[in-house]
Structure 1
């Protein structure tokens, strides 16, 4: 190994030590049970487990958020737009051609997922040297499965943010993201094709499933249900509805708990004062003031009007501040620490199942899946099951409820990307900021954010058009 590699691996391991000393914990009630030791190099399974248990790397504020700012989940008033502290927020909100400037030295939406990838690759590279014995096989498998899950989770979020929407007819020619599959920082791969990116994501997840436990110790750790739920999300994103249904069912076969909103104790910024029972895998988005400050961001009043008075989401998800009903503010995160939840939960899996069944022509079972979710969202005794007389009506109902249920979960951007590929969808987003109109048309090239300038310079990567 060369001097250059040793030098920079030492720097990165130093960063790992800092993270482990300050961040190797799982929220509040887990603090007393988590190990707290520094690692010079990972040489044992315990070392590798410590790396993967770093919530600051894998769970907290790690998933891209600029796509959420750019979606129609988020609107802000002119006064709030002018007070945004970061240019990247303003530019994402209006889909600016130039996303980054001198203040954008660190693009967390790119850096944080690739930090996850580096940690996961460090674990995967170290495992063969440690090997297995009769006594450590289960721990070895769980560590490998978790590393594969985390790497695929990061790759998927990067592809949704920095590559164009998936097109089966052209995915082999469309640039995706660099697939970093080793912890060797001297290797700087070019952008793989979108086809290769999704193949890697799916391959990692399928390998992880049988290595992971059915029930994780913590909500912030991956499991078999989480891997199946995530595969369902991935397959839905690329329009492979039969496979999405297959993995949604596989998830629900092992974990199908839905939280009854009638029994939740809400807080001013979340639907519950603890981990919600239907949470499968817990993670949150990068913190930006737009999507974390309820005094800034609001949702479209037209969407708010679709929530019935007996629908508990109307009060669990929203608050009206300063007597301004035209600006309903979102307070419905599944993260009780006030961050914006972007993990995997059972409600999303039921919605995937419902959509895929309806698309296959099984309207009856599709509506049953949808109603199984909704009865847990309405005031006890008031819910009347939804019905549909045609496939198109059923699909409209499912997609509307998906829109209402998964608000501000980092999912809408991908939904816009995939739905606009369908004939007749044509979902445009329009904004009026200080008298200037902005619009994002269906299938616009701006559905892929620019790769950070420093990555273009250092890695010689091909930039996305704007």
Structure 2
């Protein structure tokens, strides 16, 4: 339904000739298309985050050009002009706008009002989710209280695709995301049995992530407090069977909103190995090590289990992310007592024979919580966001790819942290390309 090629998305309007949505059933069917339109999260940031390594020969054999180039932080990531990490989110934005436009033009009866409001909330959430992913990949990092940047994104507020889109500033894009989510919170249901569709908690959690990633820890803290008070259910990892191929079932109790990272060739390859520096962070009594990783007889450990309950990587929102984000915000607000209490409760579900920890200083507490965030939230599309945030704050995290004769590096705050816009979009518009 309403499908189109991913290429040249901003310049060519998708055909509505197949099915034109005209009623609430049509709109709901469109928003429920989680396999081909929504519930897909860009994965190119995960490729570039250096949490895994690929032997040179395997890297050469990767079918996707942008996958190879992103892995080494090349200047021209999308040399052939294609990049689904750009076009798919704009597809999602288009279809969300189709619903929002349609809801504004059809007659809605009294008994349809609640359903129409919910569909509006879902569409606003999906638009905000897509824009936030684009923001983190294709725009420079800016703090909430820092300087703005002209290298934002084209803002699409309706389904009319006009030629030559201009780039709004980063601040304008952020304002749109926040406004969409704030309105979605008013419209969405408190409980949503289908985790491929957002609830109030999902919208709050995404808004919390938006504030958190731009360094507005105070605003993120307020939302974290609300979500914690409403309840954040965790799985006891120490009780999960390590011999099961994937002990995390689909739509498990830690999933607030389900989405999966876009399919890339390196998924589940026996020649894709976990970075040794990351593996070294897990102690032998850490249940996550045996649950997340497996030795398939190669030269290192491979990926094993994800919160999708499948072989695909999780790109949604989970209670564990919300809790760790909340704890970090507490530490930054110098509430070390509550932060340590919540972290201890969390680690009891992750570490066998766990011994409680205490914080003697904010610096120590921040070091511990960042370590736990690093171990818990790998391979779910968040590391690239954290690298940009933390490097801006002075953490000086260097990334490196070693191919023997060739060594590639990504220095903190490098221009390469902003992916280039697909060339055909630049050629067909008045947009300025991201400097690399």
TM-score by length of 2: 0.93
Report whether the alignment pairs 1:52 with 2:22: no
- Partners of 1:267 and 1:79 lie apart in 2 by 31
Is the 2:201–2:227 contact (alpha carbons within 8 Å) kept by the matching residues of 1?
A: yes
Provide the C-alpha distance between the structure 2 equivalents of 1:360 and 1:405, rounded to a whole number of angstroms: 22
Q: Secondary structure at the match of 2:256?
A: strand
Q: What residue in structure 2 maps to residue 35 of structure 1?
A: none
> Is the counterpart of residue 76 in structure 1 residue 54 in structure 2?
yes
Q: Give how far 1:59 is off.
A: 4.3
Match in the other structure for 2:435: 465
SS in 1 for 2:337: helix
Q: After TM superposition, list the pairs within 5 Å mapping 1:248-397 onto structure 2.
A: 248-264=224-240, 270-290=246-266, 292-322=267-297, 324=299, 327-379=300-352, 382-397=353-368
1:173 aligns with 2:149: yes
Q: Distance in 2 between matches of 1:171 and 1:190?
A: 20
Asked which structure has the greater RCO (Cα within 8 Å, sep 6+), the reply is: 2
Q: Distance in 2 between matches of 1:320 and 1:162?
A: 35
Contact 1:282 1:341 in 2 (8 A): yes
Unaligned runs of 5+ residues in structure 1 are 1-7, 18-39
**Is 1:449 paired with 2:430?**
no
In structure 1, the residue matched to 2:4 is: none
| Cα-to-partner distance string for 1:69-122 (whole Å, 9 max, x where unaligned) | 1112222122321221122111101111111223x4x31101111111011000
Contact 2:100 2:123 in 1 (8 A): yes
Matches within 5 A, 1:86-101: 86-101=64-79
- Kindly tell me: are residues 375 and 59 of structure 1, through their superposed partners in 2, closer, same or farther at Cα, counting changes over 3 Å? farther
* Structure 1 range deviating more: 50-59 or 153-162: 50-59
Offset at 1:405?
A: 0.1
Aligned partner (choices 81, 101, 110) of residue 125 of structure 1: 101
SS at match of 1:178: coil
Question: Which is further off, 63-72 or 245-254?
Answer: 245-254
Aligned counterparts of 1:179 and 1:255: Cα–Cα separation in 2: 35
In the alignment, the residues of structure 2 paired with residue 330 and residue 337 of structure 1 have an alpha-carbon distance, to the nearest angstrom, of 12
Q: Is the 8 A contact 2:247 2:291 kept in 1?
A: yes
The answer as to 2:399 corresponding to 1:436 is no
Provide closer, same or farther for how the CA distance between residues 261 and 131 of structure 1 changes in structure 2, counting only shifts above 3 A.
farther
> Residues 139 and 264 (structure 1 numbering): CA distance in 2 closer, same or farther, change over 3 Å?
farther
Cα distance in 2 between the residues matched to 1:226 and 1:81: 36
Select between 192-201 and 50-59 the one with higher mean Cα deviation: 50-59
User: What secondary structure, in the 3-state scheme, does the structure 1 residue paired with 2:153 have?
Assistant: strand
Cα–Cα, structure 1 residues 461 and 359, in superposed 2: closer, same or farther, change >3 Å? Answer: same
> 2: distance between equivalents of 1:218 and 1:280?
10
Change (3 A) 1:187 1:121: farther
Out of 143-152 and 307-316, give the one that drifted further.
307-316
Question: In 1, Cα distance between the equivalents of 2:298 and 2:72?
Answer: 27
Equivalenced residue count is 425
Between 1:303-312 and 1:174-183, the stretch displaced more is 303-312
Distance 1:118 1:413 in 2: 25
> Unaligned 5+ residue runs, structure 2?
1-11
SS of the residue 1:155 aligns to: helix
Q: Secondary structure at the match of 2:296?
A: coil
Q: Verify the 8 A CA contact 1:270 1:332 in the aligned structure 2.
A: yes
Give 1:322 deviation, angstroms.
1.2
CA contact (8 A) 1:99 1:450 kept: yes
Provide the C-alpha distance between the structure 1 equivalents of 2:201 and 2:251, rounded to a whole number of angstroms: 17
Query: How far apart are the structure 2 equivalents of 1:218 and 1:243?
Result: 28
Contact 1:256 1:346 in 2 (8 A): yes
SS at the partner of 2:162? coil
Q: What displacement does 1:171 show?
A: 4.3
SS at match of 1:431: strand
**TM alignment of 1:226-265, pairs within 5 A:** 226-264=202-240
Q: Which residue of 2 aligns with 1:23?
A: none
- Give the TM-score normalised by the residue count of structure 1: 0.87
1:155 equivalenced with 2:126 (yes/no): no
Secondary structure at the residue paired with 1:296?
Answer: coil
Cα distance change on mapping 1:460 and 1:174 into 2, 3 Å: closer
Q: Which of these residues, 368, 393, 411, is aligned with residue 422 of structure 1?
A: 393
Task: Provide closer, same or farther for how the CA distance between residues 121 and 47 of structure 1 changes in structure 2, counting only shifts above 3 A.
Answer: same
Deviations 1:344-384 (A, max 9, x none): 000001101110000011111112222222211233xx111
- SS of structure 2 residue aligned to 1:191: coil
Deviation at 1:223, TM superposition (A): 0.4
Between 127-136 and 65-74, report the one with greater CA deviation: 127-136
**Compared CA separation, residues 271 and 443, structure 1 to 2 (3 A):** farther
The alignment yields a C-alpha RMSD, in angstroms, of: 1.8
- Give 1:286 deviation, angstroms: 1.2
